[in-house]
Amino acid sequence: MGKSGGGKTSLIETLRGESIVYRKTQYIDYSDTFVDTPGEYAEGNDLGGALAVYSYEADVVGLVVAADDDFCIFPPACAPVANRPVLGIVTKCDSERARTDMATLWLENCGCERIFLTSAKTGQGIEELLAYLK
């Protein structure tokens, strides 16, 4: 889960070995392997409950923050609320505006167990994340 435009769908396409095809996620896309959520669910108060419900169906929860984001939507110490491992995933590490140090700090403050630095375009961190998920 993460904000709109954060690279969640591109990350999932890359993890599945698919070509990256940008499309706006309009609904919770629940497959046999991944749950892809619209950013609007995490950005507002009205739909956050749906994220909680779907997180109970997952083995692992991923908080996604793009390396070129100007702010983090997740509050400090939010990860311990989940009753399963919560990973931090920094996307868009290849961006010219990337500030992986800031994105990592935000996810550390959330309480993520482990943080992965990734790029769907270059493949950075994808094998490491896949190995962890397996």
* CA 120/CA 73 separation, integer angstroms: 21
HSE toward the beta carbon, residue 98, CA cutoff 13 A: 13
- Among residues 53, 106, 121, the alpha carbon closest in space to that of 83 is found at 53
pTM of the model: 0.91
pLDDT of residue 49: 72
Contact yes or no for 58/35 (Cβ under 8 A)? yes
How do the pLDDT tens digits run along the chain, 134 residues long?
999 999 988 998 999 888 888 777 876 777 778 888 878 878 877 777 777 777 777 899 999 999 999 999 999 999 988 889 999 999 999 999 999 999 999 999 999 999 999 999 999 999 999 999 99
Dihedrals phi, psi of 88, to nearest 5 degrees: -100, 130
The class of domain 8-133 in CATH terms is alpha beta
pLDDT of residue 95: 97
Parse the chain into domains and list their residue ranges.
Answer: 8-133
Write out the two tokens for 72.
């983090």
Dihedrals phi, psi of 64, to nearest 5 degrees: -105, 125
